[in-house]
Amino acid sequence: MINCIIVDDEPLAIKVIESHLARFDKLSLIRSCANALEAFDALSKTDVDLMFLDIRMPVMTGIEFIKALRNPPAVIFTTAYSEFAVDSYEFEAIDYLLKPVTFERFEKSIHKYLKQNLPVEATPNYTYFKVNGKLIKLEHHSILYAQSIKDYIIIHTTSGNHITHMTMKYLAELLPPELFIRVHRSFLISIPHLTGAGNNEIYLDKVKIPIGDSFKKEILSLRTRITKMK
């Protein structure tokens, strides 16, 4: 479990982050703090892995607070002021979120944190997707391929199809590259489910998927694996 705290003097901003956090089963909110003094107290009593930190706060700013910590936890800055973005790089922050923080932008930050901090052996074999307003968990081995239609992705799995709002580029970043590969600007496929390939098509059993001209080099690198699978 990843222990988190929120440090923000705006009650509404805290509620937004709390709501986003509640949608991840790996994240545990230890405490929401209205200022740096409360955050000092929280850090002294509990091991904290990740801190969502506002920058402009009374008495002590978020930047001053970080400087005062000997061993600060990982930090995702949250602020309404974009001019502080440069300062965040000095502290190797995981991310810099501008208020109001949307769930989609928040989710990207969490995935970035997980990629940087989860040990290799603990990398999850599943990914959460937002479908019809809810998060659903899809095991990687169940995903056959994905197809983009405008700003939406249809994820075809062994048990059915799911539609989510995201770009194909972002989907490719979410899924492990050793298991998934783009073969077309509109298609991403599961490497373990490959059954064959032609010059312009790739096969997942009876499903034929086009190979884009700009992706043929990637497909060539899989020829040996495809041959072994026959």
Interatomic CA distance for residues 189 and 220, integer angstroms: 15
pLDDT score at 198 = 79
Q: Taking the mean position of all CA atoms in its chain, how far away is CA 118?
A: 12
Nearest of 130, 138, 74 to residue 103 by alpha carbon: 130
pLDDT score at 93 = 87
Superfamily of domain 126-229: LytTr DNA-binding domain (2.40.50.1020)
Give the number of C-alpha atoms closer than 13 A to the C-alpha of residue 109, restricted to the C-beta side: 24
Q: Looking at residues 81-88, what average pLDDT do you find?
A: 60
Interatomic CA distance for residues 20 and 97, integer angstroms: 13
Residues with Cβ within 8 Å of 45's Cβ and at least 6 positions away in sequence, in order, are none
| pLDDT of 224 above 60 | no
Cβ count within 10 A of residue 152: 12
Cβ count within 10 A of residue 39: 25
pTM of the model: 0.54
Q: What are phi and psi of 65, to 5 degrees?
A: -65, -45
Q: Looking at residues 209-218, what average pLDDT do you find?
A: 85
pLDDT score at 7 = 97
2-122 CATH fold: Rossmann fold (3.40.50)
Q: What is the pLDDT of residues 119-178, one digit of tens each?
A: 655 568 999 999 998 999 999 999 999 999 988 999 999 999 999 999 999 999 899 988
**Cα angle at 140 between 135 and 146, to 5 degrees?**
80
| pLDDT of 82 above 80 | no
Q: How high is the mean pLDDT of the chain?
A: 88
Q: Where in the chain is the domain with CATH 3.40.50.2300?
A: 2-122
Q: What is the pLDDT of residues 31-51, one digit of tens each?
A: 999 999 999 999 999 999 999
Percent of the chain with pLDDT over 90: 63
Burial tier of 4 (Cβ tally within 10 Å: 0-12, 13-18, 19+)? buried
Q: Where in the chain is the domain with CATH 2.40.50.1020?
A: 126-229
